[in-house]
Structure 1
Amino acid sequence: MPTNKNQHFVPRCYLRPFSHEESGKAIRIFNIDREQVIEGAAVKHQCSGSYFYGEDEKLEAAIQFIEQKYADTLRRIREPSYNKLGADDELILKRFWLLQYLRTEAASRRAVEMNNQVGKLIGADSSFNLEICDAVLMAMHAFATEMDVIDDLRVCLLKNATEIPFVTSDDPAILANRWFQTDGRHRGSTFGLGSAGALAILPLCKNLMLIAYDSDVYSIPKNAGIAKTKREGDVQSLNQLQFLNCKANIFPGQTYDADALRQSFQACVDRRLEERHVLHYSVLDQNNGDYKRYRVVDSPDDEDHQEALVHSQTLHPSPQIWPLLLRWRKKGFGMVNGTGIGCVRRSQVDKRRGPPFERMSTGH
């Protein structure tokens, strides 16, 4: 049994730079439900649960190993003399982002809700239902088997040279996609870790952020992997992603004025999503031997059928504006083959079966 009963799904090494005097002991909280600032909350009680990862000592040890690698990397890249993003540091940051994206309580709850709604829709018995602990273990398995899925993304360390600090939250690793979320051709489709236009975003401290991006779709002006922004609008749009994605709490650091914090949240609160997925039920409409075609219906009871598909569409909130530093790549593109996998990055093509792929232009 793990010696540490209280297991953090957002680790203390990550929260430390946002804590009071970076001591890792007390942290300032902005609770979005009450829109109230709480001073001096104990870090050890934030984003944790009893045996959140179960009682597998090897799993806990593996997670702690990655967290330690991240903590070492963070200390190094925050040094004033650090002026070039190294390949090893880049890889560790991407792997930590992926682990953090998959393992939060909010992510696990979304997986449970989606799975159990599918079970209810298809009339499965209670044995089909998923519990939080099951979702966490599934997420850890996904990390172990797919940890290279975002290795092809280009990485930028963004330095914040404004008076507005970066904030973080109880669900801080953001997967976004400006192309999918703004281009009408992608309306009704969802995006994932392998999609063209993917953005992996993680605040590292009040003045440093990780942005990993699909370089076939976007470009970010930078030098040796490091960029700087003096535009408050860039910082505000990136902070909005935390306001929109968090489950309950924002960790704003010590310098963000409480009234300004409330105003920043109120400016985008109507963009928060009550539901983070929607299910589509499709019945077999045509079968010519070479392919099958399915038709979406409102309810499984609408008509008699022998075969059906259930498709889950993940919903992602969008900020009011996207940061100006995130530019469109000239002649940007993704890869499509006319199937339900949608538009993916070049790195994903060899992993997929089906018809041959061709380029889909971003139009920029």
Structure 2
Amino acid sequence: MSEKKKQHYVPKFYLKFFSIKHNQKHIKLCLKKSGEIIHQADLASQAQESYFYGKDLEREKWFGTIEDTTSIILKEVVKTKTLPKNNSDDYYWIWLFILLQAYRTRAHADEFNDIIDKTMKTAMKFESQFKDFEYDKYFFAYDDAIEKTMDILLKSLPMMRDMQIKLLLNKTTEEIITSDNPVSKYNQFLESRKFPFGHNGMASKGLQILYPLAPDLMLLMYDPKIYKVGNRKQFSQIVINEKDVGVLNLLTCLYANKVLYSTNNVTDFHFEQLLENSTKFKNQKKLELKYYDPVTNYDETKSVIVQHHKTPYMLNLNLSFVKQTQHAKSYKLSGYYSEIRDESYRNKR
């Protein structure tokens, strides 16, 4: 039991891609809040908590099985700088791994519980019995928030099957960094349309998901109806420039929960600049709630509808390897609170 007590929400095999001098034992880290830098941190103790997935070890073993398979595939990708064949089994293992990583971290669990807390408190304010409730003294949350978010993800996976993966190659002298919440999301399409609501839902039209894989590699999952990335048949070694690396690292920094990671080739000054540049955007991503007046149900009970969305980071992102398709350029926004990639989902609601 004790050997399973420390449960990683960012796998050790993945962090080893960013280890110092490829020794796989140490990694350079920068604490996001204080800016403190540790040049040789113990890699095995990073991005983990005691019984993060529960003491029954069921979820921990499940992730372990997936990591055993995916680690072999990703190690080969890092070595060859080439993705598995499009739509192959190995390709979809990477697809699944990216999505699981996005939903299994401490940062995501805290964000989920923040939604639960604020939604509950908003609804409670319509109930007379809570008029004297001291809202600031309590925080509503699930102890098993990761279990809840995993259930949501797994039920939603079919709507992600249309997303395409490509592998970006960094040949510059600036290295790609990662973090304790390594997957970041963006939506250049909805940003360009000044869309006022959520940009980064799983079914959002124009969604982009970025996953640093190694100092010279980045995985990009994207909406292929909206973006052209490299040539149509080019899935690997899509070269990015130094400006691209800079803004992608900035996005990684913004999404990081507490810690940034890198090899020792990333200078302390680079981390300092990154943290300084991120301050102008850090307040952009926040939870916004909208509620409607209570309605009376057939049994004379009342219901309150609370709608929420996360405002996205808006960096005015301009990436050299991404262009919008003709479909994107001619697309007319629907006027709904969300823009859905597959319109059939919207019609079923």
For 1:183, the equivalent position in structure 2 comes to 193
For 1:118, the equivalent position in structure 2 comes to 119
| TM-score computed with the length of structure 2 as normaliser | 0.86
For 1:270, the equivalent position in structure 2 comes to 280
- Which structure's relative contact order is higher, taking Cα pairs within 8 Å and 6+ residues apart? 2
Instruction: Kindly state the Cα deviation for residue 315 of structure 1 after the two structures are TM-superposed.
Output: 2.1
Equivalent AA in structure 2 for residue 313 of structure 1: H
* Unmatched 5+ stretches in structure 1: 286-304, 355-364
Moved more, 209-218 or 135-144: 135-144
* Whole-Å separation in 2 of the counterparts to 1:81 and 1:42: 27
For 1:17, the equivalent position in structure 2 comes to 17
Equivalent AA in structure 1 for residue 55 of structure 2: E
For 1:292, the equivalent position in structure 2 comes to none
* Residue 89 (str. 1) matches residue 85 (str. 2): no
Structure 2 vs 1, CA of residues 187 and 14 (structure 1 numbering), >3 Å: closer, same or farther? same
Instruction: Return the match for 1:129 from 116, 137, 140.
Output: 140
| TM-score computed with the length of structure 1 as normaliser | 0.83
* Residue 53 (str. 1) matches residue 53 (str. 2): yes
Secondary structure class of the residue paired with 1:149? helix
Instruction: Return the match for 2:215 from 206, 224, 230.
Output: 206
For 1:65, the equivalent position in structure 2 comes to 65
* Whole-Å separation in 1 of the counterparts to 2:228 and 2:284: 32
Moved more, 71-80 or 205-214: 71-80
Question: Is the 2:84–2:90 contact (alpha carbons within 8 Å) kept by the matching residues of 1?
Answer: no
* Whole-Å separation in 2 of the counterparts to 1:264 and 1:177: 21
Moved more, 99-108 or 315-324: 315-324
* Whole-Å separation in 2 of the counterparts to 1:275 and 1:319: 11
User: How many residues were matched structurally?
Assistant: 333
Show the 5 A alignment for 1:163-174. 163-174=173-184
Equivalent AA in structure 1 for residue 39 of structure 2: E
Secondary structure class of the residue paired with 2:197? coil
Give the superposed CA RMSD: 2.9
Equivalent AA in structure 1 for residue 141 of structure 2: L
* Unmatched 5+ stretches in structure 2: 296-300
Moved more, 270-279 or 51-60: 270-279
Structure 2 vs 1, CA of residues 213 and 106 (structure 1 numbering), >3 Å: closer, same or farther? same
* Whole-Å separation in 2 of the counterparts to 1:265 and 1:85: 38
Equivalent AA in structure 1 for residue 113 of structure 2: V
Question: Is the 2:284–2:312 contact (alpha carbons within 8 Å) kept by the matching residues of 1?
Answer: no
Instruction: Kindly state the Cα deviation for residue 260 of structure 1 after the two structures are TM-superposed.
Output: 2.4
Secondary structure class of the residue paired with 1:29? strand
Instruction: Kindly state the Cα deviation for residue 226 of structure 1 after the two structures are TM-superposed.
Output: 1.2
Equivalent AA in structure 1 for residue 186 of structure 2: A
More helix by share: 2
Question: Is the 2:180–2:257 contact (alpha carbons within 8 Å) kept by the matching residues of 1?
Answer: yes
Instruction: Kindly state the Cα deviation for residue 265 of structure 1 after the two structures are TM-superposed.
Output: 2.9
For 1:228, the equivalent position in structure 2 comes to 238
For 2:163, the equivalent position in structure 1 comes to 153
Identical positions, percent: 22
Equivalent AA in structure 1 for residue 119 of structure 2: V
Deviation by residue 1:282-329 (Cα, 9 ceiling, x = unmatched): 2269xxxxxxxxxxxxxxxxxxx9653211111222335331211111
Deviation by residue 1:228-267 (Cα, 9 ceiling, x = unmatched): 3252011111111111111111112221121123123322
